[in-house]
A and B are shown apart, each in its own frame.
Chain A
Amino acid sequence: MYDMKALYEAESVDHAISLLVEHPEAMVLAAGSDVFIKLREGKLAGREFVSIYMLDEMRGVTLEEDGTIRIGSLTSFSHIVESEIIQEFIPVLADAVLMIGGPQIRNLGTIGGNTCNGVTSADSGATLLALDAEVELKSPEGVRIIPLSEFYIKPGVVDLRPAELQTALLIRKAAYDGYIGQHFIKYAMRNAMDIATLGCSVNVKLSDDKQVIEDCRIGFGVAGPVPMRLPQAEDTVRGEVISKDLIEAFGEATKHDVNPRTSWRATKEFRLHLIETMAMRCLTESIIKAGGVVE
């Protein structure tokens, strides 16, 4: 039995928002995979909750007319993996969320919950950032859309205003069109049911002759307080001819972007070593997937 003071079950997105207005102390309960754990620890005990879990209108992946991929915030990780749209255009997101927990957690957990948690180890974070994802937010004031990079404020804190719900994640056509080379590496101590020591997601767009990296985006989880992009590393390779030295320069450049910390889960030194290694491997794999060759 969970120690909840009250549970308000929302029947629609608008109802959820009005419940949040009515009960300003209440927390949003999506699938609850993290909330239930905190409740059990006594951390959120006695709080009120607005459950949005039953809102099927917030589920599903759709391709909009302008080519935007829209992922409803309550879409489970499993459904993202199974989505043909995801598999066709941004398979890297499927690869990333397939690394989360085990089947039960992937059936329960939602992409919205994963981003609204604001934790740096969220497995979807690095990839969504590398895909220039945007978030759609709905409140009594209306709808606003902001880049995911701005949604993350600090550990555990995201840009959600009072009575505001995150309703979808959006990936624009310009962000995936031509970015055929996509790769994700999760580094963890186990091969399943684990929290990321680091997560690295790279996507590249190569020139027609596959010799030059026209664009490269890299996102990292746990390389800093929140999931982050690595602009200096990206600049190092953008417009450059593919070579082993370039890959090494990319790895070297990551050091200037990241800010990992020492915790009992891993030391800063170890994370820095891995960031460089993972970035190089992830870029190499992305280039190969895009049809390029690293020699």
Chain B
Amino acid sequence: MSAPQYKTVNFTLNGVETHKMIDVRSSLMDMLRDNYSLHSVKEGCAVGECGACTVLIDGEVFNACIYLAVWVEGKEVITTEGLTGPNGELSEVQQAFVDEFAVQCGFCTPGFVVAAEALIRSGKTYTRDQLRKNLAGNLCRCTGYENIINAVETALERHHAAKVNAKVE
């Protein structure tokens, strides 16, 4: 075995610029969990099939389990922890997940919250079928997805309503 290879990664994590010396063999999930204690990034399969480790990279959703940590160099990474406000305020998506009973065991929840956040940030509207298409990379065994889709629908409605109100004011 050759000598371990380390590299400093410079990126923005949940809004804060950061750099960390890491083993280049680390997946993004390894780095976020082990080096930053961001435990919302969950491992359900380690091969990109369940979506429990979903994070936003430059606004797009990725499975952190099949992404090299060194690839986030210069990029912006957001996890569920980064969506909560400085005083613990829930994001629109998080609040909707609470209100719509979209949480059960909670293991897939952070991944779904991040996947839904990408839809909020797109500024687009979605039909229920389009929501299903856009959330299909996240598996859940508890909810039958019903309340999750409801929650994302609610979050989008509230988000767009808030935007309209802001314009009116």
Mark A residues whose CB is within 8 Å of B: 1-7, 9, 32-33, 36-37, 40, 46, 51, 53-54, 78, 101-105, 107-108, 191-193
Contact = CB atoms under 8 A, between A and B. Distances in A.
Contacts of B79: none
13 contacts: A1-B25, A4-B24, A5-B2, A6-B2, A7-B70, A46-B1, A53-B71, A54-B73, A101-B48, A102-B138, A103-B136, A107-B60, A191-B136
Contacts of A46: 1
A53 B66 CA distance: 13
A102 B52 CA distance: 13
Given A7-B5, A36-B66, A193-B136, A104 B51 contact: yes
A105 B63 CA distance: 8
Nearest to B54: A104
Given A1-B26, A3-B25, A4-B24, A33 B134 contact: no
A251 to B, nearest CB: 29
Contact of A108 (B2, B5, B26, B67): B67
Interface of B: 1-2, 5, 23-27, 30, 46-49, 51, 54, 60-63, 65-68, 70-71, 73, 115, 118, 133-139
A7 B62 contact: no
Contacts of A78: 60
B56 to A, nearest CB: 10
Contact of B68 (A53, A104, A192): A53
Nearest to B30: A1
Contacts of B54: 104
B25 A193 contact: no
A235 to B, nearest CB: 37
B121 to A, nearest CB: 13
Nearest to A37: B47
Given A51-B71, A103-B135, 11 more contacts: A4-B25, A5-B1, A7-B70, A33-B66, A36-B27, A40-B46, A46-B1, A54-B73, A104-B48, A104-B63, A192-B137
Contacts of B71: 51, 53-54
Nearest to B138: A102
B66 A193 contact: no
B27 A104 contact: no
B61 A104 contact: yes
A107 B61 contact: yes
B19 to A, nearest CB: 16
Contacts of A9: 70
Contact of A32 (B51, B68, B135): B68
B47 A40 contact: yes
Nearest to A54: B71
A257 to B, nearest CB: 32
Contact of B51 (A7, A36, A102): A102
Contacts of A5: 1-2
A2 B27 contact: yes
Nearest to A36: B66
Given A36-B47, A40-B46, A54-B73, A105 B137 contact: yes
